[in-house]
Structure formats: C-alpha cells, structure tokens
A and B are shown apart, each in its own frame.
Chain A
Amino acid sequence: MATVDLKDVRKVYPGGVEAVKGVSIAIPDKELCVLVGPSGCGKSTLLRMIAGLETISSGTCAIDGKVVNAVGPTERDIAMVFQNYALYPHMKVYDNMAYGLRNRGTPKDEIDSRVRSTAKVLELSHLLDRRPRELSGGQRQRVAMGRAIVRNPKVFLFDEPLSNLDAKLRGQMRVEIKNLQRSLGVTSVYVTHDQLEAMTLADILVVMNAGLVEQMGAPLDIYEKPASTFVASFIGAPPMNLLAIAAKPNSPVDTAEKVLANGEGLEISAPAHAATLGFRPEDADVISEGTTGSLKLSATVEAVEPVGAESFLYCAAAGGRIVVRVSGRAAAKPGDQLKVMVPAGKLHWFDSTGKRV
C-alpha cells in the first residue's frame, strides 16, 4: 500500500505543446483519486506519467515516498486498466491474468491459486479457458480488472475503464470498482470525463482544465462550493445555471446593486466584484409569490424533460438559459411564463475571471 505524491508535474511535448502545466496532488494511502475534466485537459497524460508510460518534463512523481521519475513502468509496481482493456488477444483469460505474475517470477502454484481466487471474486472462473475475442465487453472489462488485481500492486491506475460499456453495465461496474477498491485498500488514480462516475467514486476529486487543476477536494465539497464557473458547469448534471450580471447603471463597478442582462434589478445584494451568478437546478423553485431575501427570476419554459422521479424545465431567462428541477411530473408546458425563486444562501457568485467570490 502506498501514497502517490505529485509535485509541480509538467509535461511539455517536443514541439512545445504543454499538456500538463504544473500539477501537485497528494493522494493518501488507500484512497481513490479521480481526475476529471474535458478531453484534452491533460488528465490522461498525468495518469500515464504516474504509470511511467510518459516521461515527466519537470517536477516529481513519488510512489510510496520514493521519487520514481527515472523508474520505468516495469519497476513501479503499479497496475493499469486501459480504456480498450488491452487484453493480450493470443492468450487465454488465465494467461492474461497470470502474465504479470510470471514476469515477476512468482512460483507456479502461487500463481495458480491467486489467479483462481481473483477469478472467483470477479466471477470469471468459468471463463478462464477462453480467449478475449470470445468474451463480451463487460467480461473483458472484468478480465482487465482481474489482471490488475491479481498482481496486488502498490497503486491501481484506471484510464476511463468504463467508457466502452453500455449505461447499465457502467453503473454496475462503478459500484463494483468502488467496493473492490475499498476492500482491497489499494491507492488508486482514476481518470474519467464522466462527472457522475467522478462524483460517485472519488475520495479525492481533482477537476482539471487545460493542463491545470481547477479544484481539488471531496466530491460534495466541490459540488457545493465550486471554485470557478468551469467547475460549476462541469460538475453536476444538469450543470449549474450561470447568469451574467452587471453593476446597476450609473453606480460604481463594485456596487452591491447588480442587474441582470435585461436590466432587471436583483433585489438582493451581490458581492462587489461578482460578474456571474450561479445556482443549481435543484435549488430553484417555481413559485407564485416570492419570499424576501431570495433571488426572483421570470422565465419562459422552452422544453420539459420528464425523467420519472423528477422533471427538468429548460427555460429562457434574462441573461441566459436556465434549468429548473421539479420533483415528480411537471405542471408546466412549453410556452408557460414562470417565476423562479432561489434562496440567497444557495447562490454562487463568480467574478469576471470566473473565480468564486
């Protein structure tokens, strides 16, 4: 078991493209750290640097307290689950799982008992004699997991392991991965672009954007206090509603009196430098009469999305589109005029650079 420490890690490709621009993350022992971000944000590159598949341009990566910058992937004692599983097509499932142990000179009977017990845990026992091409996507995914688990490495690395599965299987495997990781107690780094996966799996959530860490912390802390408009719109589905606001005409820029894009006043005081206000779809209520100390907006319903237990109203409001969550069936239909109320305590304020105020 081990810790993973990244200190100001950078990746500059020959040709000058900087994929990772100085990232520091400390992952305590036995915790699962999820790197999430849009494609091209450098999360996979970062993972590959921890694996030793990419060189580190500057900064240090330490596993279990030892700097491993110059150590090849072979000696790092890590295991990785690839997006396309990367199973050896010419080997049976058994040999796929035994390969890593054989390379490390584990005695034959120990290999056998470890492969069989891992296969049992993952319900793969009846598939050991098959080749990867004879397996379904979900089974392949399990074999890839088994290959990682059987080695009992210091660190697990997951590179979008569920993105090739269908939605139902993805949900199942997500729970299973979390349980396995917890029961095995192996420090893990998990890369995904799916915010739901990120939220549900992470002990530590790292939101990345353009090669930098936007925010890092416990998933719910990030959800409740996004550090920037980027995080606010990336974490949560549907994402946070963001509306542009401006200082009231003829008042100083840092006034607490702000107006929406249509010139309507906010009725509540805003932080001095706020340029954007945000609120979660579930924090908004459709009302007939507003209570004091809350934000009130008029909105026109454009579309209604019933999901079953809840419905989402997609509305046009001053300064942008907003989504409002209502529980159960929605009474509103497209074209309806609504009043939307958000309690002041549930509002998020961001300045003109997108940072939280």
Chain B
Amino acid sequence: MTPRVVFPNKLLPYLLVAPQLAITLVFFYWPAAQALYQSMLKEDPFGLKSKFVWFDNFKKVLADPNYLHSIKVTVVFSVATAAVAMIVALLLAVMAEKVVRSKGFYRTLLIWPYAVAPAIAGMLFLFLFNPSIGSLAILLRKMGIAWDPVLNGTDAMVLLVAAAAWKQISYNFLFFVAGLQAIPKTLIEAAAIDGAREAKRFWTIVFPLLAPTTFFLLVINTTYAFFDTFGIVHAVTGGGPGKATETLVYKVYNDGFVNLILGSSAAQSVILMIIVIALTAIQFRYVERKVHYG
C-alpha cells in the first residue's frame, strides 16, 4: 500500500480535479441532460414551438413496431459482428503465434486495417460487393449465389456484418496476440507432456486463460457494434433495403436529422443510453467475476 497523500491546502485538490470535471460536465453531462430534457418535448417540424409532454415520446417509441424491429436488427447485427470479429481474430492470432519466421511482419500487416476509417471501410465493402460493379459480387454470382445486398435484406445484413467485423478484427487480433503471449510457455509444455494434443491444449489451457482478454473484447465489441457503426451503416446500406439494416443508432439519426422528429429521436437516444449502462453493468457484475485467475 502506498501511503495516502494528504494535501495541506483545502482548496488545491478541488482545483486539481476541476479541469477534468469541467470537461466531463460540458461534454458528457450537459448533452446527456439536454437529450433527457428534449426527449420529453414535443416540437413542431419547423422548431417554432414545443410542448412538455412527459413520457409520451417514450410510450410512442416503445409501441412503434418499426422501433421494435430496429431492436431486433441491432441485436442480430451486434451479436453477429462481435462473434465474427472475435472468432476470426482469435484464429488469426493463434496462427500468427505459430509462425516462426517474420512473426512481426505478419502481425503488422494484420493490424493495418484498424487504421482505416469506418466510412472508408464501408465504401470498400460497398464497391467490392456492389451487385452490378463489385468484383467480389461477380465471383459470388459465378459460384451460383444470388447475391444482391441492394434488394435482399439478409444479404445486406451479411455485407454490413462483414464490413463492421473486418474493421474490428485487427483490434481484437492485437489483444489476442498480447493475451497469448502472456500465457507462460511452460504451461503449454506441461500440458503437452500431460498428454494433451494441440486442439485439446487450446480448449483446456489456452482458451480458459484467455478469458480475461475475451471478456474485455466482448464488452468492447458489443459496444462497438451497438454504437460505433453508424458510419458503416450509413455508407454501406443507409439502413435499407426497407429498414432491414436499420440499427438503433442509425434510427436515432434518421428520425432526428432526416425525418426531424426530434422528441422521438431524443427519447431513442435516452433508451440507448440506458442500454449501454445496463450492458456494461451486467457484463462487469456477472461475467467479469468469473474470468480472472491471478
């Protein structure tokens, strides 16, 4: 235990935390409070007058079948993205660990995609899989797959998941590589001597010991898929076809800034806020406890 530092001056500690507090207040709490306030207002499309309506907006949003559909889309999208991004990254990390020569070179190459901005990643996938001009779309069609993300909702979702996961794989890869390196080599050797073959060693020793990393990435990836994929959705599908890929975040934007239903949009973002808080709390309360060994 480090000894507690006590400031002789009563005012100094407050002054020291003040800048951080100010930033948090101005950039996080104020907008959040604004959103909360706005979610209880009903405003005409021209912004000329508004009326305080308590929870009417929430009632309306939660009763809206479009909103419920959007929740379903978001869950499917998030689970699929997190799963794909983490499984592929783990596979790549395990493979990259096994490379003997020029390990660093492979690793660097695998980390690069993370430097690509989400919207640009979206555009890449949009072009590659565009049903009329995309080079990969042509390949798919030649293989006999009727690929059309512009008209088919499932195809659009697959494309979106691919684009969103692709970008996250590098990030996950980096953490899995670090996690793998932190596992003492003698443990693997002891398991080998104990008669466990490679696959068995992975599932009984490596994977359980990676649990803290996996858990951390699960939190990061779900949050990413839930909230940070606006750019990709916007670039790749724009929520279409026919709302098939309209996630909650995208709907907030669409209702607020395109359809100008500000009250409803604000109510939706408050709901999103509650979902984030709940998700994080659940993950840390119930999952984290079981995954640290020390």
Contacts and interface: CB of A to CB of B under 8 A. Distances in A.
Interface of A: 51-53, 72-74, 76, 78-80, 82, 84, 86, 88-90, 99-100, 103-104, 131, 133, 147, 151
A104 B184 CA distance: 23
- 8 smallest beta-carbon distances between A and B, as pairs: A100-B194, A103-B195, A86-B186, A86-B190, A73-B192, A90-B208, A89-B293, A103-B196
Contact of B189 (A76, A86, A89, A104): A86
Given A103-B194, A104-B195, A90 B293 contact: yes
Contacts of A88: 187, 190-191, 205
Given A74-B196, A80-B193, A82-B190, 6 more contacts: A74-B193, A80-B189, A90-B209, A99-B204, A100-B193, A100-B195
A147 B194 contact: yes
Best-buried of B189, B193, B200 by chain A (most CB within 10 Å) = B193
A74 B193 CA distance: 5
B294 interface: yes
Contact of B191 (A72, A76, A99, A131): A99
Grouping DSSP codes into helix (H, G, I), strand (E, B) and loop, the B interface class, with mixed when no group exceeds half, is helix
Interface in B163-191: 184, 186-187, 189-191
A214 to B, nearest CB: 28
Contacts of A73: 189, 192-193
Contact of A131 (B184, B196, B293): B293
A24 B200 CA distance: 35
B51 interface: no
A103 B184 CA distance: 20
Best-buried of B186, B196, B197 by chain A (most CB within 10 Å) = B186
A53 B200 contact: no
B213 to A, nearest CB: 13
Contacts of B209: 89-90
A79 B191 contact: no
A231 to B, nearest CB: 30
Interface in B195-227: 195-197, 200, 204-205, 208-209, 211
B189 A133 contact: no
B187 A86 contact: yes
Contact of A99 (B189, B196, B197, B294): B196
B247 to A, nearest CB: 36
A76 B184 CA distance: 22
Given A74-B193, A74-B197, A84 B186 contact: yes
Contacts of B187: 86, 88-89
Contacts of A133: 293-294
A155 to B, nearest CB: 11
A243 B236 CA distance: 85
A74 B208 CA distance: 21
8 contacts: A52-B193, A74-B192, A76-B193, A82-B186, A99-B196, A100-B193, A100-B195, A103-B200
Contacts of A78: 193
